[in-house]
Amino acid sequence: MGQNLSSTNASVSQKMHPVLRIGLLAYIVVTASACYVLILKGLESAPPLAFAGARTILGGLSLILFSVLSGQRVLPERRLWGWLPLVALTATTLTFGSMFLSPGYAGAGLASILGNAQPLFIVVIGFFALGERLSRWQTLALLVGLIGVLIIISPTLAGGNSGLFVGR
């Protein structure tokens, strides 16, 4: 439990060539950001929640189908069944529901920035819930990130742009 975040994925990342590692990170950033623009485009012809539901059902079925075709079992271990509804609610329903709703309210750019602030929250929740420690640099990066989020939402907190919280 009390492991350092920097050493968590060290074995995987250290095996990668630095250029490949940076390329992979850039790919994740580009696809995660482009996703919001595509969602905004798709919202012209689909209701947000059903659009999000269709996407996640398709994704889930694809993974289940892959499990079947590759000869693996379809269901996860029994000990995990009880956790399934909670993870589905947080990691899929709330995440994708708000992801597909937010561009319509806050615009693709702002929704993308706030929607991708996930690593900052993971670090904070991981620190309190899992006892994961942070290095000095990671703490500094976290503070800079959180200050950035605060700057972005400050007009709303000051009452200048209520659109970010409640819509246009």
Partner 1 sequence: MIALTTSLAAAIGTVIVRYLKLGHSLLQFTGCQLFTGGVLLILLSIVWYLPTSSRILPL
Q: Which 68-107 positions form the footprint of partner 1 (CB under 8 A)? A: 72-77, 80, 83-99, 101-102, 105-106
Q: Is 46 in the site for partner 1 (CB under 8 A)?
A: yes
Residues 49 to 68: which contact partner 1 by CB under 8 A? 49-64, 66-67
The H-assigned helical ranges of the chain are: 5-8, 10-15, 18-42, 48-69, 84-87, 95-106, 108-115, 118-125, 136-157, 163-166
CA distance 168 to 162: 8
Can you tell me which of 117, 141, 142, 146 binds partner 1, judged by CB under 8 A?
117
Q: Where does this chain touch partner 1 (CB under 8 A) — which range of 12-20, 22-30, 124-132, 134-142?
A: 124-132
Residues 126-155 that bind partner 1 (CB under 8 A): 126, 129-130, 153
CB–CB of 167/105 below 8 Å? yes
